[in-house]
Chain A
Amino acid sequence: DAGVIQSPRHEVTEMGQEVTLRCKPISGHNSLFWYRQTMMRGLELLIYFNNNVPIDDSGMPEDRFSAKMPNASFSTLKIQPSEPRDSAVYFCASSFSSSNQPQHFGDGTRLSIL
């Protein structure tokens, strides 16, 4: 069975550029989560969706970050314009939407903003 699929695996770009990260959740899962992981701040929840609807975006750092889920099998996280402090590993995870469900993580996108 396919797990959560993220692309790209690595992205290196210059500050000011737009960055788009992509995620395909596990089929049948109706919750999708975007996390950011850094040494300083650990694993932070940025936003999560239930049934394609954003439920909690309180972790989104600022207006430069936006996330969409146009359908049950695809989500994007966009940073525009990007800054060096956005450099991190970004994980997407999915799960069933009821409580007490384990989350399944993708391999992550390692983002470097120069």
Chain B
Amino acid sequence: GQQVMQIPQYQHVQEGEDFTTYCNSSTTLSNIQWYKQRPGGHPVFLIQLVKSGEVKKQKRLTFQFGEAKKNSSLHITATQTTDVGTYFCAKGTGTASKLTFGTGTRLQVTL
């Protein structure tokens, strides 16, 4: 199936710096979900975006869905060491429960 590209693949920041990961698709997305996977752990659902231009916030995390519904972003303000992990976006089909996961962005945070 068509892969969902994420950039960057990897980012290393100092604690307190901001971080953004981008998710891009060549086709229009019906919805986008975001997951976080801690090192050695399993993906955990964070949020879902459905509407064009939608913006949702969870504490220091801000999620956006592009106006054309072809891209999405996750921004973390003032990173903490607890933010370490790999962040995945996942596109839905719109009609079924299947998801296609993006390539992931691995975030490393150091003091």
B residues lining the A interface (CB < 8 Å): 1, 30-31, 33, 41-45, 48, 50, 88, 92-101, 103-104
Interface string of A83-114 (1 = CB under 8 A from B): 00000000101011111111111111000000
What distance in Å separates the Cβ of B9 from its nearest Cβ neighbour in chain A? 10
Q: State the main secondary structure of chain B at its contact with A.
A: loop
Residues of the A chain whose Cβ atoms lie less than 8 Å from the Cβ of B104: 42-43
Q: State the main secondary structure of chain A at its contact with B.
A: strand
A99 B33 Cβ-Cβ under 8 A? no
B97 A106 Cβ-Cβ under 8 A? no
Residue A12 lies at the interface, judged by CB distance under 8 Å to chain B: no
Q: Which of A13-21, A48-56, A64-72 contacts B (4 or more CB under 8 A)?
A: A48-56
Residue A45 lies at the interface, judged by CB distance under 8 Å to chain B: yes
Known: A42-B104, A43-B88, A100-B31. A56 touches B42 (CB 8 A): no
A residues lining the B interface (CB < 8 Å): 31, 33, 35, 42-43, 45, 48, 50, 55-56, 58, 91, 93, 95-108
**A93 vs B31: C-alpha distance when bound (angstroms):** 19
Across the interface, B93 reaches (CB within 8 A) one of A35, A99, A103, namely A99
**A48 vs B96: C-alpha distance when bound (angstroms):** 11
Residues of the A chain whose Cβ atoms lie less than 8 Å from the Cβ of B31: 99-100
Across the interface, B45 reaches (CB within 8 A) one of A45, A50, A102, namely A102
Residues of the B chain whose Cβ atoms lie less than 8 Å from the Cβ of A56: 98
B45 A99 Cβ-Cβ under 8 A? no
Known: A100-B31, A102-B33. A55 touches B101 (CB 8 A): no
A43 B43 Cβ-Cβ under 8 A? yes
**A50 vs B96: C-alpha distance when bound (angstroms):** 9
